[in-house]
Copies of this chain bind each other. A is one copy, B any other.
Amino acid sequence: MTKQMHLTAFMRPVSLHTGAWRYPGAYADANFNFGHLKSFIRTLEAAKFDAFFMADHLAVLNMPVEALKRSHTVTSFEPFTLLSALAAVTERIGLAATASTTFEEPYHVARRFASLDHISNGRAAWNIVTTANPDAALNFGLDDHVEHGERYRRAREFVDVVTGLWDSFADDAFIRDQESGIFFDPARMHVLDHEGPSYKVRGPLNIARPVQGHPVIVQAGQSEPGRQLAAETAELVFCSPRDLESAKALYADIKTRMAAFGRARSALKILPAAFIVLGEMVEDAKRKRATLDSLVHYDSAIASLSIALGHDASTFDPDAPLPEIPDTNASKTGREQVLKLAQEEGLTVRQLAQRYGGYSGLAFVGTAESVADEMQLWLEQEASDGFTVVFPFLPQGLEDVTRDLVPELQRRGLFRRDYEGTTLRDHLGLARPANAFFSA
């Protein structure tokens, strides 16, 4: 059988593009309207997506007020409340929530994911983040943010505590014998008694073992400690490689690191973020993207371009090509990427700025056939096991993907025509973990 592609939908915010809410016909409140989100997830489920993925922030993001007031992400639902509500109106699609190891307690995190997994009948996934945003720290009484390496050391211990708590009860602990009055077998309950450098947690967790054994573990870090944490613990990796070559390198690196932990390469799926814009002709798709980019306000756009260039771009003529920029050591890679993009697509300073201020990551822009070609290439070249789809605007950009692209992938035998199992682990082809303290 052809290698199968996995598709998750990046849904918090519903589009990462800053102009998404202004696109003609788009819902201005797509990110914060429960009715809309319910219809999105049902459409994704009908298209057999693996999962609905909620990134998260623990603060209003710190940005200049001119950009902030134009941001549709400033009001968002909290992941557990939203995903639990969506669990009640769906049957099969996976539900991936982000939870921070820096600003949460492992007992709470273990409990909420176990609860979501039970409510959804085995569809929960935990996206582990260590939260780099200093604004978040200020909302939790910390003036200084915890240092990067230390955050990852704590995250590693945090994962051990959470998975240990999930294993508090054997799968068969709950007898519920009304006749004898025995509700559960206390010999099938484990008290964790964890005492580590950062956490001291007794347990047991006050909820039965999750339906999936453990909810699926997701990791998004691309840094050195992030890759190591992923190779050791993650089952799904969300990443943002810029192009096929860097994706192949990242893919090979993480999969190779897994061997040191005795893990099979298939026990982890790597799903890069891909911004997908479809049209009947390639030119239609490009035009849609240009329209979308044009809705990014120039003031915030030019700031993003300046950052990418490592040079103040605000004095450039917006409607002329990018001028020569004196060579400095700062941000050489970023500058080369901007120059490459300017040449390839023949963009003016304004258009470049709006690209960087909108969405500048990996994008597949074209017809269902041409985009399917690209996705298939990535799969075959071992650059990915599928994609985390970022929609350009809602609802149309999402409906374009489910109506046109998914059937094309199905025709090629690259994507399921129906769910084969009931849990997210089933969809992803991941084994149900054994209980660390009890044999089955």
Where the two chains meet, the residues of A that have a C-beta atom closer than 8 Å to any C-beta of B are 21-22, 26, 28-29, 32, 34, 38, 57-60, 65, 68-72, 74-78, 80-82, 84-89, 103-105, 107-108, 111-112, 114-116, 118-119, 135, 138-141, 169, 174, 176, 178, 181-186, 189, 199-208, 295, 297
Q: A119-B34, A178-B21 are in contact. Are A207 and B69 (CB under 8 A)?
A: no
Number of copies: 2
Q: Report the bound CA distance from A15 to B89 in whole Å.
A: 27
Bound complex: CA A38 to CA B75 (Å): 29
A392 to chain B, nearest CB (A): 15
Contact A22/B72 with A81-B84, A86-B88 known, Cβ cut-off 8 Å? no
A-B contact pairs, 10 of them (CB 8 A): A21-B176, A21-B178, A28-B178, A28-B183, A60-B206, A70-B181, A74-B184, A75-B207, A76-B207, A82-B84
Q: In the complex, are the beta carbons of B82 and A115 less than 8 A apart?
A: yes
- Nearest-neighbour CB distance to chain B for A71, whole angstroms, equals 6
CB distance from A139 to the nearest CB of B (A): 4
Residues of B close to A118: CB separation below 8 A: 32, 34, 77
Contacts of A139 in B (CB 8 A): 107, 201-203
Contacts of A21 in B (CB 8 A): 176, 178, 183
Chain B residues, CB < 8 A from A69? 182-186
Whole-angstrom distance from the CB of A88 to the nearest CB of chain B? 4
Most B-side CB within 10 Å, residue of A38, A58, A85, A205: A85
